[in-house]
């Protein structure tokens, strides 16, 4: 990437609209088209072979060198279609349970350059995988256990399946049996003596929700969610019997057994170490707070390896099982919750506490180029006047100096009484949607010294705000859209409102209309030509969960939660029509528009870049929208 400095950005940001920058018009077919992804997210799924770990990070598989366990080092990664849930390794190949994208087979013979070589799209959601004897056994959620031959890794093929009665979440293989953690129906024992004709031979219900399973000797160990760890004798596979348990594990997600020690990934309860030398009397003997949420675990003699959600990969010394100790870690990217794009860069608000800078110069291969800390979970970001302003949950407003765009520097914080969730800037004032404390008006004429000047407490929880013509339009959760007169910023006053059927979470303006992202209520179109008497005139309800919305010209872009990105034509606001939609690997929480590109903050799967369907791009890579390009981003 060419060096991006204040001097190179000034012409694009201040004078771009006056320079007659050339544009290219293209046909908007198959719109919105996926251009590229920065796919990294929280750690989920881990396998270890020798001194190498394979860890899911959002929609990427990371290959990590563990030769120095106190300092794990990234060797390489490969981008996959969906979020990585689990991974198993056989020789030079990693088999990845890739959620709705099924089983993906990755060649890891060159650790610095892993490459996907084959896949099988399972019928439901691949959430766990075990490998044995040339077969991959996939826990596929609502369609049970799938048996896939990986004899030819480039052409894996399903050879058999058995539909379990519950929800297949975890799987382990020992000998000629597969053991399936089947959610609400406990442990199912499947004969795989003939992989082409698997058959259930026994089961035992468990009191909780069976999520993970490990087998050692004649016992199966079940991570049973709130019911803790259950120990099942499988000496007779046709008649499995519970023989022991450990209560007090409030969120047992996964379990790994090495020798006489079971390591349990216990969600926010960290890593629990259980002595199973006597399987009928298991006893918790050790505990380690892993930092975030222990989701997955694998173990080798004397070591446990935890995929710790936002905490990344944690390497744990179990030399003294009663005193587990963290040896080292590889941080994860976290959850991408908010984004503001400008001048070829995306500023991404990442939970739990980071601002990441991603270079969008090559949309097919966005790259992280900088970062800064955040006080808490960034919920929305707007960029204006060489500063980034972040609404930070529980911490109010955080301001970053962007004199060096690649190295944001925190310069100010303004604490607020609510839960800051949305932000926009108009002139020298910033408008903060502050959750249960309503709308806050902040003077940012000196960005390093923000000063609260006015406030109005809305009846709901303010999630987002847009401002035009002396009025602020607040998406107020269960209380719909609230219209606030801000012509005197020091004395804002609510002057109108309109209820919406669900929870107003986002708002954008087009002409004399407000478009409200109303979660399950879809997109509501409100006529605000008379701000004191707003009226809903239309809606678009074919959504999964409309979280945020942004508008350019007559195009509306909707972050649709688990449904990805929607593009609507609102040239006639009274009749919004669908232009196109694209699913994303994660959960679309927010979005921003820049240079013909829609940047989607995709929570657990990083960010995704799409063309904006308008058929116009700017050849210099910057927005030809003048200085306002830094402040029109809708939260």
Q: CA 64 → CA 37, 147, 165, 179, distances in Å?
A: 21, 28, 37, 29
Q: Confidence band (pLDDT; 50, 70, 90) for 173?
A: very high
**Mean pLDDT of the region 86-98:** 98
Q: Confidence band (pLDDT; 50, 70, 90) for 616?
A: low
Residues 531, 492: Cα–Cα separation, whole Å: 14
pLDDT tens by residue, 311-350: 999 999 999 999 999 999 999 999 999 999 998 999 999 9
Residues 191, 410: Cα–Cα separation, whole Å: 59
| pLDDT exceeds cutoff 90 at 28 | no
Strands 577-582 and 548-552: unpaired
pLDDT tens by residue, 390-429: 999 999 999 999 999 999 999 999 999 999 999 999 999 9
Residues 633, 339: Cα–Cα separation, whole Å: 9
Q: Which residues pair with 73 in a beta bridge?
A: 65
Backbone angles phi and psi of 395, in degrees to 5:
-125, 5
**Mean pLDDT of the region 34-57:** 98
pLDDT at 25: 29
For the chain, the first-to-last Cα distance in angstroms comes to 27
Does residue 515 contact residue 570 with C-beta atoms inside 8 Å?
yes
Residues 390, 338: Cα–Cα separation, whole Å: 9
What's 116-172 look like in SS3?
Answer: EEEEECCCCCECEEEEECCEEEEECECCCEEEEECCCCCCCEEEEEECCCCCECEEE
pLDDT at 477: 98
| pLDDT exceeds cutoff 70 at 5 | no
Residues 43, 561: Cα–Cα separation, whole Å: 20
The pLDDT mean for the chain works out to: 93
pLDDT tens by residue, 418-476: 999 999 999 999 999 999 999 999 999 999 999 999 999 999 999 999 999 999 999 99
pLDDT tens by residue, 188-219: 999 999 999 999 999 999 999 999 999 999 99
Lookup: tokens for 164: 């379990």
**Mean pLDDT of the region 579-595:** 96
Least confident range from 1-5, 109-113, 146-150: namely 1-5
| pLDDT exceeds cutoff 80 at 519 | yes
Q: How far is CA 229 from the centre of its chain?
A: 28
Q: In what order do the strands lie in the sheet with 345-351?
A: 335-342, 345-351, 354-359, 367-373
Lookup: tokens for 40: 């990294």
| pLDDT exceeds cutoff 50 at 119 | yes
CA triplet 71, 76, 81: central angle to 5 degrees? 125
SS3 629: helix
Residues 388, 402: Cα–Cα separation, whole Å: 7
The helix (H) or strand (E) run that includes residue 494 is: strand 493-498
Sorted by where each starts, the structural domains of the chain and their CATH numbers stand as 6-31+334-540+615-630 (2.130.10.10), 42-330 (2.130.10.10)
SS3 607: strand
Lookup: tokens for 217: 């000797």
Lookup: tokens for 132: 């044995």
| pLDDT exceeds cutoff 90 at 310 | yes
pLDDT at 162: 98
**Tokens 């604490």 sit on residue:** 415
**Mean pLDDT of the region 122-151:** 98
What is the secondary structure of 545-576 as a DSSP string? Answer: -B-EEEEETTEEEEE-BTT-EEEEE-SSTTS-
Residues 134, 127: Cα–Cα separation, whole Å: 19
pLDDT at 142: 97
Lookup: tokens for 339: 């984004």
Residue 454 has a CB neighbour count (10 Å cut-off) of 19
Does residue 46 contact residue 296 with C-beta atoms inside 8 Å?
yes
% of the chain residues with pLDDT over 90: 91
Residues 427, 627: Cα–Cα separation, whole Å: 11
**Mean pLDDT of the region 127-135:** 98
Dihedral sign (CA 284, 289, 293, 298): negative
């Amino acid at each position: 990437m060419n060096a991006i400095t204040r001097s190179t950005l000034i012409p694009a940001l201040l004078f771009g609209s006056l320079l007659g920058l050339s544009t290219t018009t293209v046909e908007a077919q198959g719109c919105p088209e996926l251009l590229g992804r920065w796919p990294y997210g929280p750690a989920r799924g881990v396998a270890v072979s020798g001194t190498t770990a394979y860890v899911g990070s959002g929609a990427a598989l990371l290959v990590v060198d563990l030769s120095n366990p106190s300092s794990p080092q990234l060797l390489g990664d490969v981008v996959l279609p969906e979020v990585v849930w689990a991974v198993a390794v056989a020789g030079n190949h990693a088999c990845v349970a890739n959620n709705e994208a099924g089983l993906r087979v990755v060649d890891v013979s060159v650790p610095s350059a892993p490459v996907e070589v084959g896949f099988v799209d399972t019928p439901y959601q691949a959430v766990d995988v075990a490998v044995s004897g040339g077969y991959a056994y996939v826990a596929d959620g609502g369609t049970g256990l799938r048996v896939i031959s990986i004899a030819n890794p480039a052409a894996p093929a399903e050879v058999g399946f058995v539909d379990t009665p519950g929800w297949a979440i975890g799987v382990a293989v020992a000998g000629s049996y597969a053991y399936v953690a089947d959610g609400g129906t406990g442990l199912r024992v499947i004969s795989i003596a003939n992989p082409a004709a698997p058959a259930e031979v026994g089961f035992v219900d468990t009191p909780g929700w069976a999520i993970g399973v490990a087998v050692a000797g004649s016992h199966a160990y079940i991570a049973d969610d709130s019911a803790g760890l259950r120990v099942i004798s499988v000496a007779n596979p046709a008649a499995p019997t519970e023989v022991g348990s450990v209560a007090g594990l409030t969120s047992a997600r996964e379990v790994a057994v090495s020798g006489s020690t079971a390591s349990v990934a216990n969600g926010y309860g960290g890593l629990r170490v259980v002595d199973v030398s006597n399987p009928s009397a298991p006893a918790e003997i050790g505990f380690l707070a892993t930092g975030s949420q222990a989701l997955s675990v694998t173990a080798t003699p004397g070591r446990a390896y935890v995929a710790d959600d936002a905490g990344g990969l944690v390497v744990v010394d179990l030399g003294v099982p009663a005193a587990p100790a963290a040896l080292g870690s590889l941080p994860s990217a976290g959850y991408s919750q908010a984004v503001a794009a400008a001048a070829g860069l995306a500023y991404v608000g990442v939970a739990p506490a980071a601002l990441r800078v991603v270079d969008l110069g090559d949309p097919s291969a966005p790259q992280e180029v900088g970062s800064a800390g955040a006080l808490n979970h960034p919920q929305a970001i707007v960029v204006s006047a060489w500063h980034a302003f972040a609404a930070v949950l529980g911490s109010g407003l955080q301001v970053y100096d962007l004199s060096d765009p690649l190295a944001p520097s925190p310069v100010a914080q303004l604490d607020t009484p609510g839960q800051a969730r949305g932000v926009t800037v108009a002139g020298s004032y910033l408008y903060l949607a502050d959750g249960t404390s309503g709308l806050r008006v902040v003077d940012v004429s000196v960005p390093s010294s923000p000063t609260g000047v006015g406030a109005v407490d809305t009846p709901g929880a303010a999630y987002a705000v847009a401002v035009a013509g002396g009025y602020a339009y607040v998406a107020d959760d269960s209380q719909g859209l609230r219209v606030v007169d801000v012509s005197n910023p020091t004395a804002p006053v609510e002057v109108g409102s309109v209820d919406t059927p669900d929870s107003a979470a986002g708002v954008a303006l087009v002409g004399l209309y407000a478009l409200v992202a109303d979660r399950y209520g879809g997109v509501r179109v409100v006529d605000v030509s008379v701000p004191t008497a707003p009226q809903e005139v239309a809606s678009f309800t074919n959504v999964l969960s409309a979280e945020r919305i942004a508008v350019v010209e007559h195009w509306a872009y909707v972050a649709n939660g688990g449904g990805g990105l929607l593009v609507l034509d609102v040239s006639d606001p009274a009749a919004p029509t669908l232009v196109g939609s694209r699913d994303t690997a994660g959960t679309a929480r927010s979005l921003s528009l820049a240079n013909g590109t829609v940047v989607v903050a995709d929570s657990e799967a990083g960010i995704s870049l799409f063309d904006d369907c308008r058929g116009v791009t700017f050849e210099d890579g910057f927005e030809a929208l003048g200085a306002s390009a830094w402040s029109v981003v809708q939260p």
